[in-house]
Amino acid sequence: MSDLSTVVEKPVDDLHTGWTGRVVGYVAILILVNVMVDSVLASPTFVLPELSKAFHTSQFAWIGSSAMLAGAMWAPLLGKSADINGKRKVLIVTLLVACLGGLVCLVAPNLGVFVAGRVLQGAAVAALFLTVALIRDICAPKFAMVVTGIVTCGSAVFGIVTPFVLEFALGIFGWRVVFVVSAAFAALATVFVRVVLPETRDRSPGRVDVTGALVLGAGLAGVLVYISLGQVFGWLGVVPLLVLVTGLAALNFWLFVLSRTPEPVIDIRGISVALGLGLLVVVMGTGAYQSMLQLFSLLIEVSPDDGLGYGIAAPAALGLLFGIPSIGIVLGGILAGAFATRIGPAWTLAAGVVTGVAATLIMLVAGAANLPLAVVSSFMLSLTAGSLLTSGFNLASILAPPERQGTVSSMVMVMVAIGSVTMNFIGSAILGANRITVDGETVNSSFGVHAYIAVAGAVFVLATVPTVFLVRRMRGHVVTGAPVSHI
């Protein structure tokens, strides 16, 4: 079936086509849900040293990605369940599981229990794509694109003040306050979603292939865990290789056996070329962005006066590099949503990729040792992040029927998780392989830092290839009514 089509259809009467008090209330609640997601994924990174001491481990950095790893495992199951049982109902279950995970982390007596809590918190990752799927049930297609940009990126506004608030709270209550906050946000969001949001209008008949979802999730988690553990325990270590082999075996079993059942958790045979290209752009673009974000946190710890060829440490560096980008994410998401109604999400996705290429080029040329240029690059990358996330969800939403929004949106979230985890640890491996000793201290080399940036930039450049094909394939696709299924 062709991916090029124009549909003119009168929107369903009960879909909102503009801003009303009720829509503003819905959007506020969905943003609250995504603030909870941010508290699960980002806030623990502020207390990694404290967590390392509390659980007596020196290999704790990978725990920062544990919830995202678990999110990749949760997403297919929850996406399919949402299409069949109702998006609001599944979102409530997701929020309750994330709340339980926060409480488990809060009282965890040892590392094993803490990791189990983070796995439960990983369900919060599904909450993000479920908010997008709900938007399609509430708003008409064109208006939904604008609302998607606001909901997916609006929570970044809280990222401006979060570091300062957490710094104050940590000084008083310690690291456990992070999980008190995430559990409280999850509980509060559960109440508002249950009381205010309407139930799903579109559902698909069928059953949830729980076995297939678990096998697929286990396979994804196994491969991603290997990527995250390989640098710590050795790429050829017994445990990492065992995890990798198990993950690959699970993926192959799902691909050649379980995906061919009448109702697979994800029907990969029915994914259109356009959606496949969009998912490829998302996995590459978000991965490159996340790896650059990780690098900024390393650069602000090094002074340019050390003569290493990189370093942007300064009194205001933390706020400039992590506060201003929060504004950029919001702006990028809102602009992508607004322009998508005129030119289509494929073009806004392309704009995000091009911006990412330019931002990494600035860092490669001089930004690694120049704070003002690094701030410019960071802001541009935040625009990229907002644009990619919003455009990815918008593209998926117009290429799927209403009753498949949960499943297709979950694919986008899986791509985000895979890209983020993979590129973060590839970047860490590059730095680890190029460390040098200066005055008796082991530090990252200038070559390693610039190779790190070059790899991220190369991934952005590679992402332009599927982007070009996507734009050409979507040429002439106009969203003027109900979405058209290409799945």
Residue 6 has pLDDT above 50, yes or no: no
| Spatial distance between the Cα atoms of 354 and 369, rounded to a whole number of angstroms | 23
| Spatial distance between the Cα atoms of 51 and 58, rounded to a whole number of angstroms | 10
Token pair, residue 257, equals: 């056996």
Let me know how long the chain is: 487
Q: Is 341 helix (H, G, I), strand (E, B) or coil?
A: helix
The amino acid that residue 137 corresponds to is: D
User: What is the model's pLDDT at position 484?
Assistant: 44
- Give CA torsion, residues 470, 475, 480, 486, to 10 deg: -50
Q: How confident is the model at residue 64 (pLDDT cuts 50, 70, 90)?
A: low
Token pair, residue 250, equals: 């699970």
User: What is the model's pLDDT at position 201?
Assistant: 66
| Spatial distance between the Cα atoms of 330 and 152, rounded to a whole number of angstroms | 8
Token pair, residue 14, equals: 């009960």
pTM value is 0.84
Alpha carbon distances (Å) from 386 to 51, 58, 149: 30, 34, 8
> pLDDT of 311-363, one tens digit each?
888 877 777 777 777 788 889 999 999 999 889 999 999 999 999 999 999 99
Q: Which residue has the higher pLDDT, 392 or 475?
A: 392
User: What is the model's pLDDT at position 485?
Assistant: 41
- Inter-residue contact 155 to 34 (CB < 8 Å): yes
- State the average pLDDT over residues 430-436: 85
Inter-axis angle of helices 123-138 and 371-398, nearest 10: 60
What is the gyration radius of the CA atoms in the chain, in angstroms?
Answer: 22
Closest Cα to residue 337, out of 329, 403, 471?
329
- Mean residue pLDDT of the chain comes to 84
Q: Out of 66-70, 141-145, 164-168, which region has the weakest mean confidence (pLDDT)?
A: 164-168
- Give CA torsion, residues 177, 179, 185, 186, to 10 deg: -160
How wide is the angle at C-alpha 149 spanned by C-alphas 418 and 7, nearest 5°?
Answer: 95
User: What is the model's pLDDT at position 402?
Assistant: 74
Closest Cα to residue 389, out of 441, 449, 340?
340
Closest Cα to residue 359, out of 278, 294, 424, 288?
288
Q: How confident is the model at residue 487 (pLDDT cuts 50, 70, 90)?
A: very low
Q: Out of 31-35, 224-228, 404-408, which region has the weakest mean confidence (pLDDT)?
A: 224-228
How wide is the angle at C-alpha 276 spanned by C-alphas 200 and 410, nearest 5°?
Answer: 30
Residue 436 has pLDDT above 60, yes or no: yes
- Inter-residue contact 290 to 411 (CB < 8 Å): no
User: What is the model's pLDDT at position 63?
Assistant: 64
- Inter-residue contact 124 to 71 (CB < 8 Å): yes
- State the average pLDDT over residues 63-85: 82
> pLDDT of 355-391, one tens digit each?
999 999 999 998 888 888 998 999 999 999 999 999 9
Question: 6-208+265-479 has which CATH code?
Answer: 1.20.1250.20
> pLDDT of 295-310, one tens digit each?
887 788 788 888 888 8
User: What is the model's pLDDT at position 288?
Assistant: 94
- Inter-residue contact 158 to 41 (CB < 8 Å): no
> pLDDT of 240-281, one tens digit each?
889 999 999 999 999 898 888 888 888 887 788 999 999 999
Q: How confident is the model at residue 424 (pLDDT cuts 50, 70, 90)?
A: confident
> pLDDT of 391-411, one tens digit each?
999 998 888 877 778 888 888
User: What is the model's pLDDT at position 486?
Assistant: 42
Helix runs in 344-445, H state only: 345-365, 371-398, 405-433
User: What is the model's pLDDT at position 388?
Assistant: 94
Q: Which residue has the higher pLDDT, 195 or 161?
A: 195
Q: Which residue has the higher pLDDT, 416 or 227?
A: 416
Residue-range domain boundaries for the chain: 6-208+265-479, 209-264
Residue 59 has pLDDT above 60, yes or no: no
